[in-house]
A and B are shown apart, each in its own frame.
Chain A
Amino acid sequence: MKLGSTPSQTVGPYLSIGLPWEDGPFVVPEGAEGAVWIRGVVYDGAGDPIPDAMIETWQADPDGGFRHPDDPRGHRGPEFRGFGRCPTDAAGEYRIHTVLPGVVPGEDGAPQARHIDVSVFARGLLNRVVTRIYFEDEDNSGDAVLASVPEGRRETLLARRTADGYRFDVRLQGEGETVFFEF
């Protein structure tokens, strides 16, 4: 039996009624070893911050394992959720409290650089867009996904080091437009 998928629709302007959780930004609990804040602003094509967007993140634990039955290698304990969710505030900013993911193997055995998958939802986006966060101070050489991105645009996928973690802005359109993926 093959069923047709239900179409995607925009989250609209009032996603903040249904989607945020108080602990949504906490992929790991406060005070977890090695925890960092990833913060950033979501911008539109005019360079204006978007106050009605939402970021969701999904990542491996520090050993590169996922909390999921399709990862046979196991994962860290229940305190590691792997998933983060944060709506943008009036200034267009989101924040995610997490730890650096480990190196994740690719199917061909080649290691993937440390990365976090990101979904972006917003009024005006009829479907989510998906990007990846890499880290500017980690070894990203040899990552096949990053290498598949036009060289001049790779830096849009790099989170920049800050005092308490990293900064990763999302530009939906225009100069410095973030690389988005289909799969």
Chain B
Amino acid sequence: MGTPTDLRLPRYRRDPEGTHPPLGFDGYRSTALRHPKQPLVLLPQQLTEVTGPLLGPGRIGELDNDLTRQHEGEPQGQRIIVTGRLLDGDGRPIRNSLVEIWQANAGGRYRHTGDRWPSPLDPNFDGLGRTLTDGDGRYEFTTIKPGAYPWKNHDNAWRPAHIHFSVFGSAFTQRLVTQMYFPDDPLFSQDPIFTSIPDEKARQRMISRFDLARTVPEWALAFQFDIVVRGREQSVFEDEEDDE
């Protein structure tokens, strides 16, 4: 038990300007009434912020990482394998950590009462997946390539195909919800959620890479998507070799 004055807390680097979207963004209509207008207040990173939930095996069911096997029958659409690593900004793997996804079906429809666009629901697809990263920070899902879908944001608006990802990192400061996109989607340029990211290089980091090596012959295509959360600033007691 250390006394409070013994505390030497890690610090998490702030991301460069342009990495994340602004809270208010004219192109995305729903931000209008939902973004704070008062300036944000700087919160020093104290114990509450440098710790965070470490959610492990208790949150995972046996078939949670294979969205094609959660029902009696097989879902419609193109089977894909999505793999990647969860890393911090220093390239350190984040191990045994919960990764959650949700997505539309092959026709671009979500299993949700609020989704009314006339594309069929698939009785064999829920669009929900969970897994844990391994000792190397790797995760893997088997799923169906989601379809694009229309929404009412602007005239003839379509969301590019995407999979929602939710990760925790190892500190409250690292919590991230993002979306994984697919290479060469023709819908990127008209999508304000995608283009809300100011920095073009950061925007590209949301696009997965086709991964020929991981495709399974006569079975599934594969895409690779690494997720990076904020790295640590060097602290006085940190051991260079200690990557826990």
Contact = CB atoms under 8 A, between A and B. Distances in A.
B26 to A, nearest CB: 12
B176 to A, nearest CB: 6
Contact of A58 (B52, B112, B179): B52
Given A70-B171, A127-B23, A7 B127 contact: no
A107 interface: yes
Interface stretch (A30-38, A59-67, A134-142, A160-168): A59-67
**Sorted from nearest, which 6 A-B pairs have the closest CB atoms?**
A18-B102, A124-B30, A105-B4, A83-B53, A68-B51, A181-B43
A117 to B, nearest CB: 5
Given A8-B177, A105-B47, A125 B164 contact: no
Given A59-B48, A126-B31, A144-B44, A7 B4 contact: no
B148 interface: no
A7 B46 contact: no
A29 interface: no
A117 B21 contact: no
Given A17-B112, A117-B49, A153 B38 contact: yes
Contacts of B244: 69
B177 to A, nearest CB: 5
Which size class do A's interface residues fall under?
Answer: 35 or more
Contacts of A48: 33
Nearest to A66: B51
10 contacts: A5-B229, A13-B112, A14-B115, A68-B52, A68-B54, A123-B30, A148-B42, A174-B37, A177-B36, A183-B12
Contacts of A44: 33-34
A16 B164 CA distance: 12
Nearest to A110: B4
A119 B173 CA distance: 10
Given A6-B229, A122-B34, 14 more contacts: A3-B228, A9-B21, A9-B164, A9-B177, A13-B112, A52-B114, A73-B2, A81-B53, A82-B53, A109-B5, A126-B22, A126-B23, A126-B193, A183-B12
Given A60-B48, A182-B42, A7 B203 contact: yes
